[in-house]
Amino acid sequence: MDVAELTALLTPEGLDLLAGMPDIDSTADVTREVSGLRAAGHSPELVSAVVGQARLRVRARAKFGAFADRLLFTPAGLEQATRMPVAAVHARRLRDAGVPRVVDLGCGIGGDALAFAAAGLPVLAVDADEVTAALAAFNLAPFRDETEVRHGRAEDVALADGDGAWIDPARRTAGHTETARVRAAEYTPPLDWVFGVAARHPAGVKLGPAFDRAEIPGDVEAQWVSADGSVVELALWSGALARPGVRRAALVLRGDGAHELTAPADAPDEPVRALGAYVHEPDGAVIRARLIGEVARSLEAGMLDPRIAYLTSDAPLTSPFVQSFRVRETMPAKVPRIDAALRAHGVGTLEIKKRGVDIDPAQFRRRLTLNGDRSATLIVTRVGAKRLAILADRV
């Protein structure tokens, strides 16, 4: 979206037109709606803006639910926006710490700022991109008494004593459509500046979950967050926002449930042990936080291989921090041997999981013969130098 499209959209005509748009989720839908709107005499800028927003709102429901239908987006802004349940976690932490105001530096389209304001926190939201800041102002309009939106650089904002900072440095190239990831040295604002703010003020810093652990400051709490099975962020918390004695945390959000594992440091792994009756796959947040050992001890489990994040046990235990599987049969990871096991068990529906082996599950599935009315999970992994296939059932 450019300024001309934004100007056309933020008018009574534009917003009324958008409110009446149907869901658009295919190229055919786009073609149909563009043709109809142009034939009705609407300007090219307005048609582009309205159709683009209608399509983005459909995609945005995965992050914002029903609220997506009253928000405005850019493709890049939506891609980088925080999911609503995760933003609510950020807001609770800032509210519970008692900060008098949140300064949201790099607010994007305002996803986190919406959660802060909804939690009753005064918010100053700042973004360096003019169009994005305008969209944030629109999205935050229901909280206009609690929020202020500025177009400007994060580095030019003065934080007052007691302010809590939420900093989401841009990790992709500039633009409103297709963007590319950049190296940490190219984040804006620069990480040195970001970590400097975090050293002086209570702060939360949103980073990608694969951020280099060696670059994490030693005096912050590092919290990896997964939502419905996907690791979505690394949040660094400083000052009053960091919990005493916690330096590593894995927060697992599934549906309406939240479960967290915390520790003062990386947890030592449990020793390797022979395959038992159960295999456990730790959640990605647990793996990133290097808290696999904590989970293993709670399950009376050990590592299946020292370099691969699968646990095994004989105890009939599971936890919110793993997916657990009951072992049916093991075999070499060779198609004829796996096919024989699938036929013997009457498996027609197969989930394939893999770690430590170079296979594509979709391509591997096409090499298998699936006939039957039963379902199972096939775990393909490496134990030592051997490739192992484990036929199992989800617990």
Q: Do both 36 and 92 map to the same domain? A: no
% of residues, the chain, pLDDT over 90: 92
Q: Do both 51 and 89 map to the same domain? A: no
Task: Give the model's pLDDT for residue 295.
Answer: 98
CATH number where 132 lies? 3.40.50.150
Structure tokens at 168: 């989401």
Task: Give the model's pLDDT for residue 395.
Answer: 93
Pairing between strand 257-263 and 322-332? unpaired
CA-to-CA distance for 281 and 252, rounded, in angstroms? Answer: 14
Q: Do both 132 and 253 map to the same domain? A: yes
- Average pLDDT taken over every residue of the chain: 95
Task: Establish if 73 belongs to a structural domain.
Answer: no
Q: Do both 55 and 26 map to the same domain? A: yes
Q: Do both 12 and 113 map to the same domain? A: no
What phi, psi does 208 have (nearest 5°)?
A: -70, 150
Residue 303 confidence (pLDDT) above 80: yes
pLDDT digits over 147-156, tens only?
A: 999 999 999 9
pLDDT digits over 341-356, tens only?
A: 999 999 999 999 999 9
CA-to-CA distance for 371 and 378, rounded, in angstroms? Answer: 15
Task: Give the model's pLDDT for residue 343.
Answer: 95
Q: Do both 129 and 250 map to the same domain? A: yes
Q: Do both 146 and 231 map to the same domain? A: yes
Provide the CA 202 distance to its chain's centre, in angstroms. Answer: 23
Count how many domains the chain has: 3
Q: Do both 282 and 243 map to the same domain? A: no
pTM metric for this prediction = 0.92
Write the DSSP string, 2-41: -HHHHHHHSSHHHHHHHHTPPP--SHHHHHHHHHHHHHTT
Q: Do both 254 and 167 map to the same domain? A: yes
Task: Establish if 41 belongs to a structural domain.
Answer: yes
Structure tokens at 377: 């999970």
Q: Do both 307 and 159 map to the same domain? A: no
CA-to-CA distance for 285 and 227, rounded, in angstroms? Answer: 9
Task: Give the model's pLDDT for residue 1.
Answer: 78
Residue 172 confidence (pLDDT) above 80: no
CA-to-CA distance for 308 and 347, rounded, in angstroms? Answer: 27
Residue 181 confidence (pLDDT) above 90: no
CA-based R_g, the chain, Å: 24
Q: Do both 329 and 301 map to the same domain? A: yes
pLDDT digits over 71-89, tens only?
A: 999 999 999 999 999 999 9
Domain that holds residue 239: 78-263
Q: Do both 229 and 110 map to the same domain? A: yes
CB-based contact 191:105 (threshold 8 Å): no
Residue 175 confidence (pLDDT) above 70: no
Task: Give the model's pLDDT for residue 178.
Answer: 64
Element (H, E) at 297: helix 292-298
